[in-house]
Amino acid sequence: MPSGAERARLVREMFDRIAGRYELLNTVMTAGLHRLWNRKVVRATGLRPGDRALDLACGTGSLTRDLAKAVGPGGRVLGIDFSREMLRAAEARPLPNVEYRLGDATDLTGVPSDAFDAATIAYGARNIPDLDALFSEMARCVRPGGTVVCLEIATPTNRVAAAFYGLWFDRIVPRVGAWISGDARAYAYLPESVKEFVPPGELAEIMVRNGLQNVAWHRLAGGIITLHRGTGRSGGP
Ligand SMILES: C[S@@+](CC[C@H](N)C(=O)[O-])C[C@H]1O[C@@H](n2cnc3c(N)ncnc32)[C@H](O)[C@@H]1O
């Protein structure tokens, strides 16, 4: 996979192509567990009714809708993604307290600073080459003490989970993905992108050096998922 702007273009085009089948494939590939992991993200944000949330790389809005439930009718959620087709699928299921916007998670020009009680990104960071830009934007947009949560697929360290993961992710996912989406390249990219992604400890360091505090992370589902959480800086720079 190329790097920089060329990689971003390929990723955007890939999500444009698979948008129509994305949610079905997610359900098949995680055996429905992504719903449970979404709930863990929502819990980690600490969002309450009336709060404001920012969901980056929101895709078809799977997590965005769960955030919207947490903040209730008095709250607001802004979902941002750079794939027009993923957003089109999200907008097909509108909610009164959700706004979707086309944009790049690494350059949130027009999104105000300190404006959100929480910012999230689920399965998006792995696709983003410039993680410093991503987390500095997330840190900028949350209010002091607000939360930043990043959910990602990871390579498990546990031997049993690693064996299962090797079979599932390297062999079954690319085949089933290609079959259902009709896009073999997209579902070959998925396991590749997980292998190329920074280890969880390094991701935590990136969050810290971009202004987040109290950064902690833990593994879910035998280590195939990681959840990182940090808080916006309280006090001055
Ligand atoms: C695997 S999907 C995840 C979608 C959603 N967060 C979910 O939980 O189902 C990854 C999404 O990241 C988006 N994406 C990747 N790079 C991005 C960037 N730099 N800015 C905005 N969106 C990006 C893609 O368009 C895609 O919709």
CB-based contacts of 98: which residues, under 8 Å, 6+ apart? Answer: 61, 64, 65, 68, 76, 77, 78, 79
Q: How far is the CA of 153 from the centre of ligand 1 (A)?
A: 13
Quick one: which of 39, 33, 92, 82 has its CA closest to 61?
92
Which range is least confidently modeled, 44-53, 60-69, 163-172? 163-172
Q: Which residue has the tokens 């930043």?
A: 148
Span from the CA of 217 to the centroid of ligand 1 (angstroms)? 21
Q: Which of 1, 3, 12 to mutate to test the pocket of ligand 1 (most atoms within 8 A of CB)?
A: 12
Ligand 1 geometric centre to CA of 190 (Å): 12
Gap between the terminal Cα atoms of the chain:
37
Per-residue b/e over 35-50, b at no fewer than 16 CB within 10 Å? eebbebbbebbbbeee
Q: Which residues line ligand 1 (CB under 6 A)?
A: 8, 11-12, 15, 57-59, 62-63, 81-83, 86, 104-106, 122-124, 127-128
Tell which one of 81, 98, 137 to mutate to probe ligand 1, the residue whose CB is within 8 A of the most ligand atoms: 81
Handedness of CA 61, 66, 68, 73 (dihedral sign): positive
Closest by CA position to 111, among listed 50, 53, 150, 49: 53
The tens digit of pLDDT for each residue in 189-235 reads: 777 888 889 999 999 999 999 999 999 999 998 888 999 999 998 75
**Confidence label for 237 from pLDDT (cuts 50, 70 and 90):** very low
Predicted local distance difference test score (pLDDT) of residue 1: 62
- Joined tokens for residue 216: 């902690």
Please provide the CATH number assigned to the domain covering 4-231. Answer: 3.40.50.150
Domain ranges of the chain: 4-231
> What pLDDT was estimated at residue 235?
56
pLDDT in tens, 105-132: 999 999 999 999 999 999 999 999 999 9
Contact between 181 and 153 (Cβ < 8 Å):
no
Hey, what's the torsion of the CAs at 28, 57, 204, 76, to 10 degrees? -110
Average pLDDT over all residues of the chain: 91
